[in-house]
Amino acid sequence: MTEPESQEGNCANRREDAEKFKMDMKKCVQEMERLTVRMGLTVYDCVTIQTNPELPKAVQHLENVFLMCKEWYEINYLYHYRLQCVWWHCTETKLGMLQNMLLSVCSY
């Protein structure tokens, strides 16, 4: 009776080992794909820079302009947002005052 039980245990261990091996291989393949894409992009960048040496300067200029525009937008957006909040607050205050006045007039 011990032999069939040990064979079942061996079979279960083999299945677990096979599943673990499949998972390990899948992770290795995914990592190889990631590294291949990264290497391809690096080679593309190197070839592009060799073809046009001015490209890094142009990219840096674009990044600088983008950051300046982003900063300007954030400052102006916040300014207009604050103005809108102040306007809404004033409007709500005026509506509240108007409502109180109407209630006081109607109660007489």
Q: How confident is the model at residue 18 (pLDDT cuts 50, 70, 90)?
A: confident
Spatial distance between the Cα atoms of 95 and 102, rounded to a whole number of angstroms? 10
H/E element holding 13? Answer: helix 2-51
Spatial distance between the Cα atoms of 24 and 33, rounded to a whole number of angstroms? 14
pTM recorded for the entire structure: 0.41
Give the mean model confidence (pLDDT) for residues 83-90. 62
Distances (CA, A) of 38 to 34, 59, 99: 6, 20, 65
Spatial distance between the Cα atoms of 73 and 79, rounded to a whole number of angstroms? 10
